[in-house]
Copies of this chain bind each other. A is one copy, B any other.
């Protein structure tokens, strides 16, 4: 019957854009290894060889997508934050804007490169991985710098700036794993909640004791974990 040949050619730039977009979404859903070049080609509507007419290699494809994710992060969060003089306002801006960027990426609008940024470092070549890591580290350093600035102003609680910076970014990046645009909270609300949590913590001030149960927990973990002995049928319980 030969329903339709669908010989809709696109211009080079259009096709390249389309390939990157489709690939980003696919890698986001199935992972780098799970999204084969044939899959991507099928989704685009051309042959694998057609894809390779525009893209040099799969690794380059991933690197370009992740670089674009970093570009987006820098243009939307890092550079605008850089011109905010007040450290506290800068911190709020970073948390809220980055959270909303990730929540937006989870939406159907498909700006998934920011999400892939986090997950697929293993697919990169060592040289590419180094470049991406370097840009990530610059971001972490900026956040830590802001925290140290706040410390200098006496606004920061007694918290290790490095651990705080990583933890803060952790809770933001984790958003990509659980946020659903059709959930009960909107993007704006969820960004607001995270900001409240990060700056103010969970509990009211009067309930905070200086020391916690770390000693207790340390005892619980004192004896090494049991040897891994696993019964053949995947550990039901």
Chain A residues close to B by CB (< 8 Å): 13, 16-17, 20-21, 24, 30-31, 33-34, 60, 63-65, 67-68, 70-72, 74, 76, 80, 88-89, 91-93, 96-97, 100-101, 104, 109, 111, 113, 122, 128, 131, 147, 150, 154-160, 162-164, 166-175, 177-178, 184-185, 188-205, 207-208, 212-214, 216-218, 220-221, 224-225, 227-230, 232, 234-237
Contacts and interface: CB of A to CB of B under 8 A. Distances in A.
How many copies of this chain?
2
Contacts of A131: 234
Nearest to A74: B237
Contacts of A191: 214, 217
A195 B212 contact: yes
A237 B71 contact: yes
Nearest to A174: B170
A18 to B, nearest CB: 9
Contact of A234 (B96, B128, B185): B128
10 contacts: A17-B230, A76-B225, A88-B207, A157-B203, A164-B197, A166-B175, A170-B174, A170-B175, A197-B201, A201-B201
A234 B20 CA distance: 12
A157 B235 contact: no
A68 B145 CA distance: 39
A156 B202 contact: yes
Given A34-B122, A91-B202, A113-B228, 6 more contacts: A16-B232, A64-B234, A64-B235, A67-B236, A166-B175, A198-B202
A93 B217 contact: yes
